[in-house]
Structure 1
Amino acid sequence: MLRVALALLALLVPGMALAQAVQCSPPAQMPRPRPVQPGTGEAGRIMPIGSYTLALSWSPQYCSTARGSDSAFQCKGRNGRFGFVLHGLWPDGVGRTWPQFCRKADLLPREVIRQNLCMTPSAQLLQHEWAKHGTCMASKPELYFDLARAFYQSMRFPDMAALARRDNLTVGQFTDAFVRANRRLRPDMIRVRTTRGNWLSEIWICMDRALEFARCPAGKDGAKGAAYLRIEPGPAMPRPSPARQAPITPARKPGLILNLDPNTQPLKDGGR
C-alpha cells in the first residue's frame, strides 16, 4: 500500500466535536449497522481521484421528512439536537464519474461509531460512507473518519437562526454568509443543494487532489446564486468564541498516515 502523510492539526480539539450539536449523548449500547452492498447501477469503480467533496447536511431539513428507525438518533431529540452534520468526505474522479465501493467493507467497529456518531448521527450512514467512499481512500475506517472529522471540525457556521428568519434570502447571500464565517473559502468553492421548494438541504465544499479548498470543478452543480433559499428552523446553536475556533484548514505536519490504494490515486511528481 502507498503511504501518504497528511498534516492534520486539532484532530480532536476540545469543544469542537459537538460544534453543530446543541447536545449529543451517544447511547451506552452502540447501534449496529447493516452491511452495505452496491445497489443497482452502483458497481464498484476504482479510478484515479481528481478532487474531493466535503458534504455537510442541514439536519433540521432532513428531519422534517425523515421516517424510520435509522433516523431516530438524529431526529427524535432524545440523544441529540443537530444543525449541520457531516454527510461524508467523498473522492471524486477526474471527469463526471467517481470511485466507489473500491473494496469489501466489514461492519464498523463499535468504537469507530462511538467516536463519530455526534458528527454523523446515523450508524447506518457511517457504514454507507465507509463502504462507498472510504474504501477508495483508506485501508482502515479509523483513518478515513479521522480525516473527515478533522475537516468537519475545522468548519465555522453562520448564524443559521438569523438566516432562517430572513425574507427573500438568496443562495448567493447565504453563500456569502458562509464565506464570511470561513475566511479561506470563496463562493466558487461552495455548492448549495436544495430540495423541492428551495429548502436548504446540503452544502458541498470542494477540495483539490491535495485536499486544499478549491474552485468547484465543472459539472458539480448547485442552486443558482439568484435563487431564493428557505431554511428549516433548527435549534439555537452555541456560538464558540474566536479563541476556541479551530483553523479553517487542518495544518500540515507529520501525523496521520493515510494508506491509499495505488490503483485509486497514482501519485506523480512526488505528490503528497
Structure 2
Amino acid sequence: MSAAAVFLRLRGFLFAAAVLLAAAAATLSGTPAHAQQDQPGAFDFYVLALSWSPTYCEDKGAGAADEPQCSVARPYAFVVHGLWPQYERGFPQSCQRPAPYVPGRLVSDMLDVMPSKRLVIHEWKKHGTCSGLSAERYFGLVRAARHKVVVPPEFVRLMDYRTVAPAEVEAAFRAANPGLAPDMLSVECDRRRLTEVRVCLSRELEFRACPDVDRRACRLSRMVMPPVRGAR
C-alpha cells in the first residue's frame, strides 16, 4: 500500500473516531451537542439596542405605512429595539420553543418605548426567553434599562437631515451618561446611515465593557441621520 493510501485511510479513521467520541459525549450528558448553549438564564450581560427609528422607516418605505412607528408624522427618534442577553462572544437566542405567551396588556404597555406590537413579541421570543425571566419581569427590565440610558438632547427632536461621525454620536452618549466608557457601547450603521446605538449593561444594569460588541461598530467616517417628523 502506498504512503498516500495509508495517509488517507488514517485520516478517515481519525475522523470517524472523532464523530463517535462526540456522539458518546452527547449521549452521556443526555443533551445534544447543539443544545449545550441557548439555555434560559445562562449568559454574561445585556445589550440595550436603541434603534434610530427614522432610518428604519426609510428602509421600510411604502411597506411601513401600516406601522404606527412610521406614520406620516414619524414622531419617533431612538426607540428600544431590544434588550439582548449576551455571551462574552456571541449570544443565545430562542431559548424556549414555543415561547411562553405574552398577555396583550403587557404588549400594549410597552408601546411607548417599543412602538410595534410585532417587535415586542418578536423580541420576547428571540431574546427575552433567554433571560430566564418571566415576560412581566423581562419587559420591566427592558423599561428599567431604557431609563438607565439617557439619550442626548440633540437627538430627541432632529428635524432635518444631519451628517455626523460615529465618534460624535458616541461622544454625545458618553457625555449624557457618566460612567459610560468607549468600550461599553457601539454605534451601528448601514452603508450610509445611523441605524442603532448599542449599550452594554451588566445583569444589574450597570455599564460594563463589551469588547466583542465594540469591535463591530460602524466604520464609516461620516453617516447620515434621517430626521424625526412631528413631535412627541
How far apart, in 2, do the equivalents of 1:72 and 1:162 lie? 20
Give the alignment of 1:132-143 within 5 angstroms: 132-143=126-137
- Quote the RMSD (CA, aligned, Å): 2.8
> How many Å apart are 1:213 and its aligned residue?
0.7
Match of 1:185 in 2: 180
TM-score normalized with structure 1 length:
0.62
Residue 180 of structure 1 aligns to which amino acid in structure 2? A
Matched, 1:75 2:75: no
Matched, 1:173 2:159: no
> How many Å apart are 1:64 and its aligned residue?
1.0
Match of 1:53 in 2: 47
Identity, % of aligned positions? 34
- Structure 1: segments with no counterpart, 5+ residues: 1-43, 239-272
Change (3 A) 1:176 1:53: same
Cα deviation code 1:62-100 (max 9, x no counterpart): 01121546961211147x7211100000001133x3221
8 Å contact kept, 1:189–1:214: yes
Give 3-state SS (helix, strand or coil) of 2:199's partner: strand
Cα deviation code 1:36-82 (max 9, x no counterpart): xxxxxxxx82273122100000101101121546961211147x721
How far apart, in 2, do the equivalents of 1:175 and 1:211 lie? 19
8 Å contact kept, 1:83–1:237: no
Number of corresponding residues: 192
Give the alignment of 1:94-113 within 5 angstroms: 94-95=88-89, 97-103=90-96, 104-113=98-107
Change (3 A) 1:143 1:183: same
Give 3-state SS (helix, strand or coil) of 2:187's partner: strand
Residue 212 of structure 2 aligns to which amino acid in structure 1? A
Q: Which has the higher helix share?
A: 2
The structure 1 segments of at least 4 consecutive aligned residues displaced by more than 4 Å after TM superposition are: 161-167
> How many Å apart are 1:218 and its aligned residue?
2.7
- Structure 2: segments with no counterpart, 5+ residues: 1-36
Change (3 A) 1:189 1:70: farther
8 Å contact kept, 1:105–1:135: yes
| Greater relative contact order structure (CA < 8 Å, 6+ sep) | 1
Match of 1:216 in 2: 210
How far apart, in 2, do the equivalents of 1:194 and 1:126 lie? 22
